[in-house]
Structure 1
Amino acid sequence: MKDTIKIIPLGGFDKIGMNMTIIESDESIIIVDCGTSFPPNDMPGIDTSIPDISYLKEHKEKVKGIVVTHGHEDHIGAIPYVLPELDIPIYGTPLTILLIEDKLKRYNINKPKTKVIRQGNTFILGDFKIEFIKTNHSIPDAVMLAIYTVAGIIVCTGDFKIDLTPTIGDTTDLRRLAAIGSKGVLAVLSDSTNALIKGSSPSENEVSISMDRLFNNYKNERLIIATFASNMDRVSQIIDISKKYGRKVILQGDVMLEIFKSAEKLGYISLQNDVLIEPDEASCYKDSELVFLTTGNHGEPISCLSDIANGLNENIKIKESDVILFSSIPVQGYESIFSETINSLEEQGAKILFRDLHVTGHACIEELKLIYNLLSPKYIIPAHGQFRIRNANKEIAISCGIPEENVLMIKNGDILKISESFSEVTGSIELKEILVDGLGIGDISGQILSERKAMSQAGVVIVTLCFSHGSKRLIAPPSIVTQGFVNRQKSASLILKLTDDVSSEVSRMIAQDIDSSRFETNIKRTLQASIWKKTMRKPLIIVNVTEAVI
């Protein structure tokens, strides 16, 4: 139907992260955001996971571009993996595009087709007209999208909050949202992250007041502050307050430094070289004159603090007089590491402070209500998060007068056809979890993950059998080497017994003229049974069968 479009989420509708949604007409496809998710805790060695773009590759001729709401990893992180497959332009605000370009350079993707669109501007992409609407988030240059389609206006909120007193930039453009709402909005794809939190999100200015008070209370102690790398408002405040109290700031974390360099190029911030010093200059100052500002990979601040707690950071060694200020919250999936790190830091004598040092970058219940009332959409599609928080967002929408049947709880892969007269999930795309391990993309199978788990939990046992060429005669006793299983010297008798078991099984197979292709499987089964009986462990067992010409 000519007045119908499709909305297909490829990520972000089952967990926090990996945001990617397709908007499709008869002739055009646009992609809204292209993010990664944090690596799963139960998948050793996995760096991250990215959306499955098989559908996009099948309809490559229709794909017109990627439109990005802001510069966080869960919205831009997958672009280096997707761009070589699709070779399409990317549209975003100045800071977002600069962060993307820097990222692509690190992946040796040169001269990407990037297009800078400023807040408040509109552009045409395929069958769609797209407007960038100014909003607040924990990184500058965030926007909502008003997408004008043949079926009506679709508003994608991205990640947002309503901060009436932001420290960087202007507040969310509520007047423009109201104007768009007066035209009639077909659907809103809405951030659900804080749909369980009552009230409204506090202003970033409130953190500044609390931070200033703590600087004043702990004038004689060294301060270590953990925050999110991308929260430029917060970092700028900390630098300004440090200058007020005569302290020098040492930035820790590559992500923070990259974002700051990009923001400084655009004139959004000043790094204040009279305040910032290098780590090797710290010895020139008293503890009361220093602030360490830390973050880590993916902007997750606990990563850097975990290294500090474990003595792995060459620049910071914990002292009993240290005061650690947490101007952040634990990212989902990192709660156990967060708890362990806090415990370790306190054991080493550091004082840990949390209160009033962080405000969220996401809208709470009252802010979501305000947006729904301003836009008055026919449909609301709760996005960004697992079912529980999206379902809470559904209840908010219903409380604003949206009929329950018009709150569409779709899942990743669902093909939603929508128009002014109807909405229907007409099918679904089978999506695979695409895991990234170094330069390997999507080549990590379940078997590999099972082997990694086995190695991490019970170690590995490697058996080598060497036969003379063309015969089934062993030219040397079986060799057994272990890693992470048992101490070979202290468990010599166990290794000797396992070697005897392998020798006996080889003799049995030779005597019964069993095909050599079955040697590896049979040896593995014998060892599994023997090891379990003697140790009740299940290490990964590797059997190498070789031939030698003698």
Structure 2
Amino acid sequence: MEDSIKIIPLGGFDKIGMNITLIESSDSIIAIDCGMSFPPDNLPGVAAIIPDVSYLSENSDKFKGIILTHGHEDHIGALPYVFDGINVPVYGTPLTIAMVEKKFRDFGIKKVKTKAIKFGSTIVVGDFKIEFIRGNHSIPDSAMLAIYTSQGIIFNTGDFKFDMSPVMSKTADLARLTAIGTKGVLAVLSDSTNAMQSGFSRSERYVNDQLDRFFNMYRKNRLIIVTFATNMERVQQIINLALKYGRKIALEGDLLLDVFSAARKLGYINIPDNMLVENDMLDKCKDEELIFLTTGNHGESVKCISEIAAGNNPVIRIKKNDVVLFSSVTIHGSELEFSHTINSLEEQGARIEFQDLHATGHACAEELKLLFTMLHPKFVIPAHGEYRYRREAKRIAMEVGISSDDVFLIKNGDIIELKEDKCEIVGKIPLNEILIDGREKSKIDNLVICDRMRLSESGVVIIEICIDKKTGRCVSDLNIRCRGFLDEEKFSEISDELKDLSMKEISRFLGQGVRDERISNGITALAENFIKEKCEKTPIVIAFVTNVML
């Protein structure tokens, strides 16, 4: 029997998003999920943040595969970047794999082995057996994972809830969870996102009833409905209600179209062909016949409707008496944009409704209690959330009889060693989050971000001069310009003095016979110090010294 099993989270244990956890034996490593997170506003140009997978590169001989719980970006979004240097099989449920394959095609990545796994099936990856168990979440095909190791069962919930009356999907497989619990579970990695919410999470059926009420109330109005692109159960509810009230649907949002197409092929979405309205046919529909379904992903749920409110959407223009139904929640960090969007919509005459139109996809406190009671784990490792969420999950575990010493609040990079009767943190690996340039779809250095932030805060100063390479004489005037630094009048107050100092520095270098980049470096350093002393600002200074042959 092996000495131990290690659990190493590379993401997902300090904030919402970027979920990836490694399970390691002496001969094998598997990764559970491989997600990205969305950047805060203070990282200009950054489209995403992905985990540092250097540990996997360093141990590529042991890395056997990636097992995915579901198809949200915070669980699959980093895959194309990881596969730049690592190629292992990817396993997941059918819709998850369909979304991953589309993502690989978009990035031009070929020859990746993917395998769609049905609920109830068990696969062998390296030293581990992994059983896929049906859960409930806000996207179809969400799986819980029972990972059979030499030391016992490690249970990973993924993102989950227990919806006892779903509209479209089946309930979570509680019988199987109970059966696994009777075998004895070594450790549970549990979704903690909603641990601070008391009671049970709201069922999708409740949302269906509220949507029906608003459909009936606004029979004569054009409807614009905002939801998450991946919530196909919500989309199916809207389709069913549209059919009931004689409405047609126009889909708006690239991600929605992608997920909708994949879900429809797999039979998860049922819609009559004549219900969908293409953009070129919108003018033929009366307002009371039409529903615009607009979406974004889980990090940008408000993006599409914000564009509509600002008048930047090429298809939808707000009309007076439009009704906007927000069947989603505001994501942390986008509150200001959401507030601005609401104000803009109402100024244009739209009516806003969002009360009781959303159901979370994450377990609340009583569901976590039920989970721990069914599985009877020796150890609990709360995952997927900020510290305070995971701390609350620890309290919940203690309420059902799990010792405080057996619940571990760990951090990304911690190495947890598990044995049959022991769990402890034995080390830590260094991690650096990787920033992704939105335009290039490539990794971006932190120094570039620092430069962008400096440009946004203090602007740029450019100094140019031409020098005869042969004689060492200046053959042009010194030209100094600025952008985003000071207005023209204020800059003129310091530019003459800066020009004099720069010319003296150039003359000093030329007198010493210097003709190389030392001149531009010297001017840059001098200008930065001068500007900081005079203005208490630190713009980026760029000195161009061009050598010419006359």
> 1:261 matched to which residue of 2?
261
TM-score by length of 2: 0.94
Deviations 1:136-192, CA, capped at 9 Å, x for gaps: 000111110001111001100000000111122210011110000001000000000
Q: Which moved more, 1:360-369 or 1:1-10?
A: 1-10
1:538 CA drift (Å):
4.2
Q: Which residue of 2 aligns with 1:454?
A: 454
Structure 1 position 89, deviation (Å): 0.5
Structure 1: how far apart are the matches of 2:548 and 2:493?
26
Amino acid at match of 1:405: D
* 1:252 to 1:510, Cα distance in 2 relative to 1, 3 A: closer
- Any idea what the Cα deviations from partners look like across 1:506-527, whole Å, max 9, x if unmatched? 3322454475655434544554
Equivalent residues in 2 for 1:217-366, closer than 5 Å: 217-296=217-296, 300-366=300-366
The one-letter amino acid of 2:293's match is L
Match of 1:166 in 2: 166
Would you say the 8 A contact 1:294–1:301 is kept in 2? Answer: no
In structure 1, distance between residues paired with 2:301 and 2:497? 50
Map residues 359-374 of structure 1 onto 2, 5 A cutoff. 359-374=359-374
Give the aligned partner of residue 117 of structure 1: 117
Structure 1 residue 530 displacement after superposition:
6.1
Q: Which residue does the alignment assign to 1:74?
A: 74
Shift of 1:82: 1.4
User: In the alignment, what sits opposite 2:148?
Assistant: 148
Deviations 1:238-258 (A, max 9, x none): 122122222221111100000
1:506 equivalenced with 2:507 (yes/no) = no
Match of 2:83, SS state, is helix
Counterpart in the other structure of 1:50? 50
Secondary structure in structure 1 of the residue aligned to 2:198: coil
SS in structure 2 of the partner of residue 44 of structure 1: coil
- Correspondence 1:424 to 2:419: no
Q: Deviations over 1:101-145 (max 9, x none)?
A: 111111111232111110111111111111111110001111100
Q: How does 1:18-57 map to 2 (within 5 A)?
A: 18-57=18-57
Deviation (angstroms), 1:300: 2.6
Report Cα offsets for 1:199-238 as digits up to 9, x if no partner.
0001101111111111111122221111000000111111
1:338 & 1:465 partners in 2: Cα distance? Answer: 49
Aligned pair count reads 545
SS in 2 for 1:85: coil
Q: Cα distance, 1:409 vs. partner?
A: 1.1
Give the distance between the partners of 1:122 and 1:511, measured in 2 at CA: 76
SS of equivalent to 1:263: helix
Deviations 1:333-387 (A, max 9, x none): 2222222222222233322211010000000000000000000100000000111
Deviation, structure 1 residue 284: 1.5
Task: Answer yes or no: is 1:463 the counterpart of 2:459.
Answer: no
Aligned residue identity for 2:48:
T
Distance 2:365 2:245 in 1: 37
Change (3 A) 1:238 1:535: farther
Cα distance, 1:46 vs. partner? 0.9
Q: Distance in 1 between matches of 2:217 and 2:531?
A: 59
Q: Is the 8 A contact 2:5 2:24 kept in 1?
A: yes
Query: Residue 177 of structure 1 contacts residue 374 of structure 1 at CA under 8 Å; is this kept in 2?
Result: yes
- C-alpha change, 1:341 and 1:89, in structure 2 (3 Å) is same
2:207 corresponds to which residue? 207
Q: What amino acid sits opposite 2:445 in the alignment?
A: I
The alpha carbon displacement at 1:472 in A equals 4.5
Rounded Cα–Cα distance in structure 2 between residues aligned with 1:449 and 1:389: 30
Deviates more, 1:325-334 or 1:436-445: 436-445
Instruction: Indicate the SS of the match to 1:97.
Output: helix
What secondary structure does 1:423 align onto? strand
Question: Secondary structure at 2:397's aligned position in 1?
Answer: helix
Q: Is the 8 A contact 1:166 1:205 kept in 2?
A: yes
- Determine the C-alpha separation between the residues in 2 that align with 1:539 and 1:153: 56
Q: Secondary structure at the match of 1:176?
A: helix
Counterpart Cα distance in 1 of 2:305 and 2:482: 33
Letter paired with 1:124: V
5+ unaligned residues in a row in structure 2: which ranges? none
**Preserved CA contact (<8 Å) 1:162 1:171:** yes
Residue segments in structure 1 that go unaligned for 5+ positions in a row: none
> 2:323 is aligned with what amino acid?
V
Which shows bigger deviation, 271-280 or 98-107? Answer: 271-280
Shift of 1:83: 2.3
C-alpha displacement of 1:473:
3.0
Cα deviation for residue 3 of structure 1 reads 4.5
2:187 matched residue in structure 1 = 187
Q: CA RMSD in A?
A: 2.0
CA distance in 1, matches of 2:441, 2:319: 41
Q: Indicate if the aligned counterparts of 1:119 and 1:133 stay in contact, CA closer than 8 A.
A: yes
Equivalent position SS for 1:52: coil
The secondary structure found in structure 1 opposite 2:43 is coil
The TM-score with structure 1 as length reference comes to: 0.94
Deviation track 1:375-404 (CA, whole Å, cap 9, x = no partner) reads 010000000011111111110111110000
Q: For residue 133 of structure 1, what is the aligned residue in structure 2?
A: 133
